[in-house]
Structure 1
Amino acid sequence: MDFKSKLTRKYAFPKNDNENNDSDNDIGMEKPWEKYLFIDYDTWKRFVHSRHDPKFLEKSQRGQKRRKKNLYNHTMSRGGYAYVYDIMTQEKWKEKRQAARVDNVKDVSPPSLINRAQS
């Protein structure tokens, strides 16, 4: 996560909104200009207003919709590509076995190797 995303998520759009906002909290609950000394109040105010811009919100929502469509989260922990390959192969096996049960096929051949284009 980059710095602007962190500022947006943590400060510009806080999850728990207070009922009684003071003037500083009108543009976010916490005060990042106190935590990050290189951000002054006017810069922060412009940043928050840019994040509340309808064009930015529309772009953000499009990105969120695309992210929801991802089948596999991008995680390259200890397993790396080998781990992802094993998961995908197991899923293909499962699909083939379920299709064989529906068609009453007793001998199920192993799935073909997963091409880069299929992943």
Structure 2
Amino acid sequence: MAESDTWTRTCTIFDVPLSKKTQVITIANKIWTNFKSKLTSLYVYKKPLKKRKRRSDADPLKKYEYITPEVWKRFKAMRMTKEFQASSELAAERQKKNKYPHRMSRGGYRKVRLKLEKKSLEAKKSGKSAPKIRRGDLWIEGRVNKNRECLNSETDAAIERINLVNEQVAKGEFLPSGKVDVLTKALGTDEHYGRVRGVWGSSGA
């Protein structure tokens, strides 16, 4: 889907200022990519979802009525090429090397921030103190479930380091400066060019 088409279609439905064009296109691209990945996993490769043991044998054309038979035929053919499968396997290998897998849904860090902001507002209404939401807080919330459990021991250890550095900040033993903040110090690695951890991709950070 071309970026111009994405923006034009969005503007026909919603009243969006031009200043939000990049943000809208970024979000739309992420949703579009995730949707294609879902179609590929469930209906092309027929892999079971993590939340259920059985695979999906449903007809995607019945579930998504806007997908025509011809479009679905071309999509399946493209997904079954050697080039695409090689690219998919490479991406899977990169994901396996991810030391700190997140638990976030399609909403990503934006949804996590909204959740924390809601808690902060509720705390203020009840007369409790509500500390500022930090990048490390978002990073942690994106990797724990409702029982505060992580997917692996590496993430548990990273969260402990983040909490330790936060204590150092409170005691005046560490002063965050520029790109070297609590999260960067705790993880011990610099940010990748063009990416910022613990921040919503279109937040402008």
Which of residues 3, 6, 11 is equivalent to 2:43? 11
Q: Partners in 2 of 1:37 and 1:4 — Cα distance?
A: 15
- The residue number in structure 1 matching 2:77 is 49
Q: Partners in 2 of 1:37 and 1:89 — Cα distance?
A: 44
- The residue number in structure 2 matching 1:71 is 99
Cα gap change, 1:80 to 1:55, in 2 (>3 Å) = farther
In the superposition, the TM-score normalised over structure 1's length comes to 0.56
Q: What is the deviation of 1:58?
A: 0.4
Counterpart of 1:9 in structure 2: which amino acid? Answer: S
Q: Partners in 1 of 2:134 and 2:43 — Cα distance?
A: 34
- The residue number in structure 2 matching 1:88 is 158
Unaligned 5+ residue runs, structure 1? 17-27, 92-112
Matched, 1:31 2:59: yes
Q: What is the deviation of 1:32?
A: 1.1
- The residue number in structure 1 matching 2:86 is 58
Q: What is the deviation of 1:36?
A: 1.2
Q: Partners in 1 of 2:160 and 2:35 — Cα distance?
A: 38
Matched, 1:118 2:189: yes
Q: Partners in 2 of 1:80 and 1:9 — Cα distance?
A: 35
Unaligned 5+ residue runs, structure 2? 1-30, 49-55, 117-132, 141-155, 162-175, 191-205
Aligned-partner SS, 2:47: coil
Counterpart of 2:189 in structure 1: which amino acid? Answer: Q
Q: What is the deviation of 1:87?
A: 4.0
- Residue deviations 1:57-99 (CA, integer Å, cap 9, x gap): 00000000000001111356569743558842746xxxxxxxx
In the superposition, the TM-score normalised over structure 2's length comes to 0.35
Equivalence map 1:100-115=2 (5 Å): 115=180
Q: Partners in 2 of 1:54 and 1:40 — Cα distance?
A: 24
Structure scoring higher RCO (CA < 8 A, sep ≥ 6) equals: 2
Q: What is the deviation of 1:29?
A: 4.1
Q: Partners in 2 of 1:8 and 1:50 — Cα distance?
A: 10
Q: Percent identity?
A: 30
Tell me how large the CA RMSD over aligned residues is.
Answer: 3.6
Cα gap change, 1:89 to 1:39, in 2 (>3 Å) = closer
Q: Which of the two has higher C-alpha Rg?
A: 1
Q: What is the deviation of 1:46?
A: 0.9
